[in-house]
Amino acid sequence: MDAREPHYKHENTGQESRVLPVLAEICPDYATEANEMHRCIRERFMDMFWDESRGYLADVLLTRPKKTSAADALADASLRVNQLAAVNSNMVPPEQARQVVDIIASRLLIPAGVRSLAEDTTYNLS
């Protein structure tokens, strides 16, 4: 995929996991659809974002509008602190969550706080 082409970013935060059950509760007309979407997101999240070789989640999945499905997306392997949002949303199983927390602590935690992006990140999206 050419990084200069327009693309959609599918982020790894898992926030949808928290919003959809609330939508189902406050809008009963959408409950069935919201619950089904929630189930689908939870089932596919790790398959889509987990990078076993690195031991953490892809930062985003990049897809071209109307040309690439999320399943065929280009994964951006940048290590960012937003991985913790996915852990906090209970989208990451305990074993992998521990790996994410450990790598964030070892590569992003500094005396002044938490880096938003690992120092060694390279931007090669082609």
Give the pLDDT of residue 16: 65
Give the pLDDT of residue 8: 53
The torsion angles phi and psi of 99, rounded to 5 degrees, stand at -60, -45
Each residue's pLDDT tens digit, 46-98: 998 999 999 999 988 888 777 767 777 888 889 999 889 889 888 899 999 99
CB 73 within 8 A of CB 10: yes
| Average pLDDT over all residues of the chain | 82
Lowest mean pLDDT among 3-12, 13-22, 37-46, 104-113: 3-12
Return all residues near 27 (Cβ < 8 A) that are at least 6 apart. Answer: 34
Give the pLDDT of residue 57: 94
Strand, coil or helix: what is 70?
Answer: helix
Cα–Cα distance between 83 and 57 in angstroms, integer?
Answer: 7
Work out the percent of the chain whose per-residue pLDDT is above 90: 30
